[in-house]
Amino acid sequence: MSQRIGRYEVLETLGKGGMGVVYRARDPELDRFVAIKVVLAWAQYDADAMERFNREARVVAQMQHPHIVTVFDAGRTDEGLPYFVMEYLEGTDLGEVLGVSGSLSPSRAVRYVLQVCEGLTYAHAREIVHRDIKPANLLITPDDNIKIVDFGIAKLVGSQITGTGVSLGTPLYMAPEQVAGKPVDHRADIFAVGGVLYTLISGHSPFEAPTLGGICHKIETETPTPLSKLGIEIHSRLEAIILRALEKNPDDRYQSSTEMTADLRAVQAALEAQAEAPTVITAGSTPASPTTLTEPITVQMRRRPGRIVALLAVAVIAAAAALWAFPELRPWAESSQLADLDADVEAGEAATGAAGAAADSDVSVGEETGAAGAEAEETASVAAGTAASTTEARGTGAAAITTETPGADAPAGAHAPTRADTPAEEAAPAGAEAAGAGEEATPADADREARPTLYPAGAAERAAANRVVGSLVRAIEARDSTAIARLFGGRIPAREWRMFSRMFEGPRVRIRYELTGVGTAENGMLLAEVHNNILFQGQPGRVPTPRRSTWIAQFQSDKTGLYLMRVRPR
């Protein structure tokens, strides 16, 4: 592939699948970024095939809807492959979201699917059927809205696949008539939407099987297991909507996306009313185990929002030792919560400060954060990926680990993040004692004196904090700086970023962690206490030594859910 496609300058590859490859490119005439999808699943074309492509491309390009990616142009590469030129969006897709968060809350899943239905209603009114609705074709924009991509491509390549040997991917969301090779209409899209909604809430497709043939057989013959029978808390009306959309016979499904939209809006109102109902904590109430994930969390790589939603708002003030002062918050901590990870950790680097001033010392993902003089030590620009990525569900975020590092004598990790400029003397020496030992008093110490009244967190908050910590554990285990950035909502406090930067350079450690408390303060702040057992590994001439430390994670939220603000040792 040359460095140009038509008049467009190719800058980088954004993704590749069985059907095509997507590039980020620049339109020199209009001086704007665009996304170009080259259709790889294309056999030896003839004049009729190309005319059909051109005709379909013109129809798709005429669609203008807030939930459909706009197509600007179409053509053929020098190799003769068709391509679409589309608006470039900094975001991720629902497939990637599910890969990180596992599933979404029913309310958020319904909100996304309603937007999909709105886009499909617009397209179906123009007699355009998508034919390939799936999480990977549903982009999440930086403002947390859905845009459908790949309109028309499945239809264009459908008759061209025979003989190419190119796989279009697993047909997890294809309607039975589509799998059987029968004529399809807009109701095939409705079936796919039902499958996507099922997947968003449960975390898996309604028709999973180890082989392609097995998947097709299930789609054609088996009724999906109701989500309520999988132990998932779901509104009965929402479950009925999903099952109706997944009916085998097109005549038994919703006959239009407008009809499905009406039912979803009614359920959305019920879910919102349910979410706003107050939780009453009575004397003697026992918090549920944090391992019960009733509300999956969201992870957002985005700029820190200007507003804080009051429901889960987290002010960065408050008492690192507060949970320690309330042992009644701890009985539900279980040894089964322990998890292993490979990571390097550091003591004494947890940052403190007020929420209003946090942005001044944050690492911003995807944007330059210049700083002069002393400010340069507190701000760094993080190269954490080319596109702002989102991962979602109610109660998102993650907690970072602030403990200690035995030194930086091991080779740097292959995927070390961009480091902030950090004086060499800041690195913790080998053999440093447990976190916090011998350190000078910090603002965190002053917070310890405040000891605000804490109340047991609700089930959703406990589940979110539990999932948050596990998400960070997995990110550190993979030494994935991009994932860590996502868990901080796209802006990492500079001290934490320096910690993570050095963390990938030192020797690996194995950590077993345990949530020992989650509570909320009167101002809505959510705090989680995490206990670590650390076993250093891979240090030449040194016997592995277990260390222990405890840290406090502070969270903040916006309309997208919960994300991490700060971490600090207790």
Which residues touch 430 (CB under 8 Å, ≥6 apart)?
406, 407, 409, 539
Tokens 């490979």 locate to 342
Q: Are 121 and 110 spatial neighbours (Cβ–Cβ below 8 Å)?
A: no
The whole-angstrom separation of Cα 273 and Cα 261 is 18
CA angle (526, 531, 536) in 5-degree steps: 135
With CA atoms as reference, report the closest residue to 556 among 464, 479, 458, 449.
464
The whole-angstrom separation of Cα 507 and Cα 406 is 8
Catalytic residues: 132
Which residues touch 231 (CB under 8 Å, ≥6 apart)?
none
The whole-angstrom separation of Cα 541 and Cα 333 is 36
Backbone φ and ψ of 308, nearest 5°: -115, 125
User: DSSP string spanning 502-517?
Assistant: HHTTS--EEEEEEEEE
| C-alpha separations of 373 from 136, 376, 398, 497 in Å | 44, 6, 31, 18
CA angle (497, 435, 421) in 5-degree steps: 25
Q: Are 532 and 555 spatial neighbours (Cβ–Cβ below 8 Å)?
A: no
Q: Are 550 and 534 spatial neighbours (Cβ–Cβ below 8 Å)?
A: no
The whole-angstrom separation of Cα 319 and Cα 310 is 20
User: Residue 237 in 3-state DSSP?
Assistant: helix
The whole-angstrom separation of Cα 368 and Cα 383 is 10
The whole-angstrom separation of Cα 44 and Cα 82 is 12
Q: Are 501 and 520 spatial neighbours (Cβ–Cβ below 8 Å)?
A: no
DSSP-derived letter for residue 375 is G
Tell me whether residue 135 is exposed, middle or buried, using C-beta atoms within 10 angstroms of its C-beta: 0 to 12, 13 to 18, 19 or more.
Answer: buried
